[in-house]
Amino acid sequence: MTEDVINLRSSPQVNQIRNDNKADLLFLITNQNYKTYLGHVGNEVVDPNRAMGIIEVSYIDAPDYTYAHELGHLFEGVHQILKTVHLPGKLQQINIPL
């Protein structure tokens, strides 16, 4: 899927459609089964010209909200891990940026 996101970004036809419609963000919604990903926006999305991604249609509104998740990455959102911390007399879970 990463390679397909790169191909999407470098496609003159896709960029022309994006420019013609003055789109800030672009998602390709596909029925392709990628097996390891539900959606992906690439690894370097800070550049507004690269604000594109791919989402499998069958997971667009899945319980994990794949579209919203990938959209968050386009706004520089990162994954976090949930870590259980044992404090004296307490059990607390905190999010730690990766």
Residue 61 is predicted with a pLDDT of 75
Question: Average pLDDT of 24-31?
Answer: 90
Q: Give the tens place of pLDDT for each residue, 37-59.
A: 788 888 766 677 788 998 888 87
Domain boundaries, the chain: 2-97
Q: Which of 64, 65, 97, 72 is nearest to 83 (CA)?
A: 97
Question: Is the pTM value of this prediction over 0.85?
Answer: no
- Quick one: what percent of the chain has pLDDT higher than 90? 17
**What's the whole-number average pLDDT of the chain?**
79
23 band by pLDDT with thresholds 50, 70 and 90: very high
